[in-house]
Structure 1
Amino acid sequence: MTLRRVSVDPLRQSIEHLGERLPRRADATVLLDFLEDDLREGLDALGDVESHFTELIAALRPGTLSPRTLVDVSDEALVLKRLALLEDVVLRLRRRMSQAAGMMRQPPTT
């Protein structure tokens, strides 16, 4: 018999915790799905931005430092797209969190 290790997804757990506090309605379920998608998309974009800065720092190390490397690694097109996406995600998250807060204030339906 082998034991499978189940990985814990803190984002999923957080969404489930919020779901426990929201009314059991279709619009709340949809909101939770969108919220989770936005959070994952934002974290993915942040990872790309972090990767860009890591590459910039690596290019400054003695073994890799050259004019060509500096020009290549400084291409900002991808990171600027990801920052624009991140801005959009942050605005969507603000709206969705406000919607969730409003739903939490509503009296439970029976």
Structure 2
Amino acid sequence: MTPEPAPNPSPASAAPDPSPPDTDDPVISSYNIHLTNSDIPRLVLQFLDRDPNNAYDEAHGQKPSSLRLKPHSGVLEVDVPITTRVNYDIPKGLRYGDALRRSRVGGGGTSGGF
């Protein structure tokens, strides 16, 4: 005796999801994306700790200036100018710089030989 396969539910009988939308994680923006060539890899960069009102863009003086992808290592480098007037904690920057200088190890990224 062989078991019978389970019947496939018809689309008409599928019930809508009754769960309410997640209000703790609202969608703040959406974009229409038109894919023209599926052979090209695409990257979506998300800055989870970044306030959406302070985007990395030209209006805020922090438009990314370049992007480098190292395909063998999978490293992605994005150069973003730092404006010390917005979104920058000067005392933490000074502490980080002092710690980096004392460690004599250097930094990551291109300048650090990454």
Length-normalised TM-score, structure 2: 0.24
Higher RCO structure, 1 or 2 (CA under 8 Å, sep 6+):
1
Larger helix fraction of residues:
1
Q: Which has the larger radius of gyration?
A: 2
Q: More strand by proportion, 1 or 2?
A: 2
